[in-house]
Amino acid sequence: MSSLKTAAGTSPRTAGPGLARDCEWIRKILQYAVLALTLPLYSGAAVADSAADTNRLLQGLLDQYDSHGAFSLPRLTSDEIDDLLAGQPIVKDSMDERTLDGDDVDEMGIAAMQVLDAPRLLVWLAAMGVASEPDIRLTRAFLERREAGAYVRYQHVNLPWPIRDRHWIILCEKNAGLAAASGGAIWEHKWSLLNGGEFLWRTAREDGRIRGLTLEDMEKSIYLAENRGAWIMLEVDPERTLVVAYFDGDLGGRMPKSVVRRFSHVQLKKGLQLIEELSADIHQFYDERQPIYDGFGQPIGRNAVLELVLARGALSRMTAIVD
């Protein structure tokens, strides 16, 4: 999934070269330029008004996600949104009422949120790259690639004795409907257990798609009862992105749900920190020959990434001149 090095590419929202692509990135560069030129004009009152407007904007984006997204995120107070805009991470439990059956509390997910000071495209690339970061305890295998950036993946985690290993097969998809409904402001990469996946892993190992594990390793592992979640990216402005990591899992066996929940809180916050670190230089390593797909399910071209980085550099230089 992680993509390295270089090649010529296309804009993430257009299928090929042409006027539409050029206009999109000219608009982006002008957007940065106007932002730089207006920085000296802000008074204290203007900044306060802007902060209130941004608070309302972010709440509006969260409302849009609630209407079109895959999960129910926890409701945030105005003060909590201010904390997010100040860069503080928030981790909250969330009851997903849209998928509940009666009083089944096992559908309570966890959402970790943080506003990162980076454009949404770079943060998205970093988040998709996190899924491919090497982990000595985790074995991954791509089983099937589908349309619009969707894919099926097997994962196996080696847990310390006496806890039995866990494994699962998930279907990962881009929520193109949400991206369209939000005018491109919200992208979502979601996943859930593949229907029938508990019977597929044996075949995948026999035909060579899963390597590095013995049949005994897999037969002794517990197949997860639940694993669903999403990386959600909301564009606050050209330089800030609200990242939401949502997870709802049931590890099965005798592992208490409370232990899983506490562990998940910690891991989700670590994931946000890793994304923040990777987004700083992810553009240096992206290779469109192993493409990452945007929130519309379109492959992201390397040129689009480089043009965004150049636009940010222009903004930085203009701001320095104004100062």
The CATH number for 304's domain is 3.30.530.20
Inform me whether the pLDDT recorded for 254 exceeds 50: yes
Please report whether residue 5 resides in a domain: no
pLDDT, tens digit, 9 for 90 and up, residues 151-209: 999 999 998 888 899 999 999 999 999 999 999 999 999 999 999 999 999 999 999 99
For residue 52, the model assigns a pLDDT of 87
Q: Which residue has the higher pLDDT, 98 or 57?
A: 57
pLDDT per position as a tens digit, 307-323: 888 877 655 554 445 44
The CA distance from 36 to 34, in Å, is 5
- Domain contains 13: no
Q: If you average pLDDT over every residue of the chain, what do you get? A: 80
Domains of the chain: total: 1
Residue 7 lies in a domain: no
Is residue 156 in a domain? yes
- Average pLDDT value for residue range 52-81: 93
Residue 119: inside a domain, yes or no?
Answer: yes
Res 29 pLDDT > 50: no
Q: Residue 95 — pLDDT band, cuts 50, 70, 90?
A: low
| Residue 3: inside a domain | no
Res 7 pLDDT > 50: no
Task: Kindly state the percentage of the chain with pLDDT values over 70.
Answer: 75
What is residue 316's predicted lDDT score, i.e. its pLDDT? 54
The pLDDT value recorded for residue 103 is: 43
Parent domain of 311? 20-97+107-322
Tell me the CA distances in angstroms from 38 to 31, 42, 43, one per residue in order.
11, 7, 11
Burial 76-87 (b: 16+ CB within 10 A, else e): beeeebbbbbee
From the list 146, 178, 192, 191, the residue with the least C-alpha distance to 296 is: 178
Over residues 87-93, mean pLDDT: 92
The pLDDT value recorded for residue 68 is 96
Tokens read off for 230: 């999403």
Chain centre to alpha carbon of residue 116? 12
Give the pLDDT of residue 186: 97
Q: What is the pLDDT of residues 257-287, one digit of tens each?
A: 777 777 788 888 888 988 988 888 888 888 8
- Give 118-161 pLDDT, tens digit per residue: 999 999 999 987 655 657 788 999 999 999 999 999 999 998 88
Instruction: Say whether pLDDT at 21 is over 50.
Output: no
Percentages (nearest 5) of helix, strand, coil residues in the chain: 45, 25, 30
9 domain-assigned: no
Assess if residue 173 is contained within a domain.
yes
